[in-house]
Amino acid sequence: MGKTQDASQVQKDKDPCWKERDMSMRCLSDNGFDKSKCGAYFENVKNCKTFWMEVKFARRNAGLYPAVPISEEERQKFRQQYKRTGEIPVKIVDE
């Protein structure tokens, strides 16, 4: 694996909003770096960061670590639980 792939994997592992950030950068690139055409993407990044920051604080307050789930599978479960309940999940509760 090359250095570029290593760096990319580290970003994906540590940044739960890497997809949203990547999509916003692609939008900028595709639109000649005209920020006015990518507002929805920027809002999505902001919402993602807010969600995971709230998860992080809730988990730390509950004494749970890691503060943000590491695997994409776990993160997906957190997002699904939030969509179902409307509450910031601290841990995964199976239905």
pLDDT digits (tens, 9 = 90+) for 21-75: 999 999 999 999 999 999 999 999 999 999 999 999 999 999 999 999 888 999 9
Residue type, 77: K
Tokens of 76: 């997906």
Q: Where are the domains of the chain?
A: 3-85
* Whether pTM exceeds 0.85: no
Distances (CA, A) of 35 to 3, 48, 50, 54, 76: 30, 19, 21, 27, 29
Task: Write down the mean pLDDT value for the chain.
Answer: 89
Whole-number Å distance between alpha carbons of 56 and 62: 10
Whole-number Å distance between alpha carbons of 2 and 20: 24
* Percentage of the chain modeled with pLDDT above 90: 77
Is 85 or 3 the better-scoring residue by pLDDT? 85
Is 94 or 44 the better-scoring residue by pLDDT? 44
